[in-house]
Amino acid sequence: MKEKSHGELMKISAMKRNQQKENFVQELYIEMLLSEIQLTVEKEKLLRKIDEAIDHRDKTSFLNLTGQLKNINKRFGS
């Protein structure tokens, strides 16, 4: 079995670090994408409920739901 030289070991180590960085960035991107999808779905549900509250002239529900929407927008910078 041939032992690897110091240079080869350094290359392998650098490649592993690069792969770990790429994996981290990819996982971070996936988490951000899932969060964005979840936020979008949550906002769409609230908007439908707000429309229903308007249709039923339910001021209490309307104010409650629009408050929730404002909070979501504040949290996520929308």
Question: How many domains does the chain divide into?
Answer: 1
Contact present, 72 and 46 (Cβ < 8 Å): yes
Question: pTM score, two decimals?
Answer: 0.67
**pLDDT 10s per residue in the chain (78 long)?**
567 787 888 888 888 988 899 999 999 999 999 998 999 999 999 999 999 999 999 999 999 999 999 998 888 776
Q: Is residue 59 part of a domain?
A: yes
pLDDT number for residue 76: 77
Domain that holds residue 57: 7-76
Q: Report if residue 2 sits inside a domain.
A: no
Contact 22, 41 (CB under 8 A): no
Q: Is 1 domain-assigned? A: no
Give the separation between CA 27 and CA 5, rounded to whole angstroms: 33
Round to whole Å and give the CA distance between 45 and 69. Answer: 10
Contacts of 54 (CB under 8 A, 6+ apart): 62
